[in-house]
Amino acid sequence: MVWEVQSGKTMIQFAHFDPLVSRAFVTDIRLAIERPTRSALQEFDQRRSLRHDGESYSKVLSENKP
């Protein structure tokens, strides 16, 4: 399987990428484009962590209700 990424006039070809790895690669590249600075990435990561921690905490509370 050959996988291609094009940016402007540049085409990069990858080989042996399975679908999960290719999706993760695209997600990581988009994240780097959308949040190009360390502080922007840190803010995104903190908000995401708080959101996921809150969801798991709510799930634990709902599972432990008598």
For 1-59, how does the pLDDT look when each residue is reduced to its tens digit (9 = 90+)? 677 888 888 888 877 667 777 788 889 989 999 999 999 999 988 888 887 776 555 55
Looking at residue 9, its amino acid is K
* HSE (side-chain half, CA atoms, 13 Å) at 26: 12
Q: For 57-66, write each residue's pLDDT tens digit.
A: 555 455 555 5
Specify the pTM. 0.49
Residue numbers of the domain that contains 7: 2-63
Task: Please state the φ and ψ torsions of residue 16, each to the nearest 5 degrees.
Answer: 65, 35
The number of domains in the chain is 1
Give the Cα separation of 66 and 62 in Å (integer).
Answer: 9
